[in-house]
Structure 1
């Protein structure tokens, strides 16, 4: 017998044996006063024998994987007859009626235990299948544990990264705040200097020997929006040759008496729309002056 099946079959066998003994004893005691005791014994054995036969046939069908409702119904009928005999004897007995009623449910309980044993057999699995199920369950538990550990590690990493980014952002914000404060103080100092009454005169007096007749007042930068300046248009047209450049320089230099200086000549040269680099213009000036 399979040790696993013994957990359900042994209680069913014990309950059935006790029920048969009680049924036989009650039939012999109850009918022994009315009929000869051999007759009562045959009746009791007939009830127990029919019950045992139907039970054996039902177990044979279950071993073959089959089931018969008729056999099951006959078995339940024998169980109900045995229980009815016990109940009738308990009700007719003047003494110890309660004790007989207390054991009258044993045949029904025996049939119920055999029903439970049949369900156990239909749902029982082999040790190989049970080991496979345990392996699958253990693998699922392992995967769940690994997934939980991975999620916890990722959460910790993300928390550390966010903390580092937040700290770096705070440091950048503090540096920007200090820089803005320093720039604001510097521009405030420049604005104070620009608004001062003697600042312009002092700067003009210092730079007057160098920038005579160029500017009359120095202006410091003003804190405010910046307006982008348009890029100057490039001069179009072919480049002048050295001979042409010398002729133009000579004409402009001698356009007035006395002859113009190089600075004035260069200003009027470019104001007339001519284009030449400073190096070529200076070389042409030197050639013209040397020839004169």
Structure 2
């Protein structure tokens, strides 16, 4: 008998033994006044023997993994008879309270045997218990690893979000400073453009360099820009050297005195003719 098995079977055995002794004593005392004591002893031993026999048969069936409702019912009947004998004696005896206090022992003994039978049907071997403990420990280990992984992922994500947020804040601050600087610069340009003396001052600076030319000074304006369409130039047919010489001579001698090379070249190009600078200068040398 194992130690764990003894925890349930020993109380049942002790309760059964006390119940049998009390039942035998009560039967002998109760029936001893009416019948000879050997007869009373036989009656008491019969009740206890029948109870013990049915209990032994129940235990045998339980060891085989079987169960019989008839045997169980007979066992409970003997237990009820024993309890009834004790209750009847308690009601007729002088110290009825004391006898009533122990009248429940047969029923309690049967209940303890029932608990022991349930424990045996649900008991597991040490190998199975070790396997269950191993499975439980493995499940706890996996849960702990999963929690640690989740905490690590959460920490990593928090660190990444913190870094991204800090970088975004730095970019926003740089953009704000840049916008502020550009705003001040455009404000300065706008003030210069709106000034009455700005164009006059710039013209006075450029007049000695470009005499007879009055430039138009316009500073950049803060605002949306319009795309400028690309210029499309249609190149005419290339001039031969003879045709080029004729044009150069006509333009040079169109006025008196004859035009200089620079004035001739400007009028040549203003008229829409096309020629490289090398050919144009060679034609000038030929006709002049």
TM-score (norm 2): 0.91
Instruction: Give the aligned partner of residue 227 of structure 2.
Output: 228
**In structure 2, the residue corresponding to 1:176 is in which secondary structure?**
helix
Instruction: Give the aligned partner of residue 3 of structure 1.
Output: 3
1:194–1:100 CA distance, 2 compared to 1 (3 A): same
Structure 1 residues 67-146: aligned runs within 5 Å: 67-93=67-93, 95-146=94-145
* Superposed CA offset, 1:140-197 (max 9, x none): 1111111111111222222222222222222111111111111111111111111111
Distance 1:164 1:235 in 2: 58
1:54–1:286 CA distance, 2 compared to 1 (3 A): same
Distance 1:72 1:96 in 2: 33
Distance 1:252 1:3 in 2: 136
Instruction: Give the aligned partner of residue 18 of structure 1.
Output: 18
Pairs aligned (count): 285
* Superposed CA offset, 1:70-111 (max 9, x none): 000000000000000000000011x21100000000000000
Distance 1:36 1:71 in 2: 32
1:246–1:81 CA distance, 2 compared to 1 (3 A): same
1:81–1:220 CA distance, 2 compared to 1 (3 A): same
Instruction: Determine if contact 2:248/2:268 at 8 Å carries over to the other structure.
Output: no
Distance 2:34 2:246 in 1: 165
Instruction: Determine if contact 2:54/2:74 at 8 Å carries over to the other structure.
Output: yes
Structure 1 residues 154-193: aligned runs within 5 Å: 154-193=153-192
Instruction: Give the aligned partner of residue 253 of structure 1.
Output: 251
Instruction: Give the aligned partner of residue 200 of structure 2.
Output: 201
Distance 1:37 1:245 in 2: 168
Return 61-70 or 214-223, whichever deviates more: 214-223
**In structure 2, the residue corresponding to 1:220 is in which secondary structure?**
coil
Distance 1:283 1:265 in 2: 12
1:70–1:261 CA distance, 2 compared to 1 (3 A): same
* Superposed CA offset, 1:20-79 (max 9, x none): 010000000000000000000000010000001011111111111111000000000000
Instruction: Determine if contact 1:246/1:287 at 8 Å carries over to the other structure.
Output: no
Instruction: Determine if contact 1:19/1:110 at 8 Å carries over to the other structure.
Output: yes
1:56–1:133 CA distance, 2 compared to 1 (3 A): same
Instruction: Give the aligned partner of residue 283 of structure 2.
Output: 288
Unaligned runs of 5+ in 2: none
Distance 2:243 2:37 in 1: 160
Deviation at 1:253, TM superposition (A): 3.4
Structure 1 residues 44-55: aligned runs within 5 Å: 44-55=44-55
Distance 2:123 2:108 in 1: 22
Instruction: Determine if contact 1:249/1:265 at 8 Å carries over to the other structure.
Output: no
Instruction: Determine if contact 2:47/2:82 at 8 Å carries over to the other structure.
Output: yes
Instruction: Give the aligned partner of residue 39 of structure 1.
Output: 39
Instruction: Give the aligned partner of residue 217 of structure 2.
Output: 218
**In structure 2, the residue corresponding to 1:256 is in which secondary structure?**
coil
1:242–1:140 CA distance, 2 compared to 1 (3 A): farther
Instruction: Determine if contact 2:261/2:284 at 8 Å carries over to the other structure.
Output: no
Flag as ranges the 4+ runs of structure 1 deviating above 6 A.
Answer: none
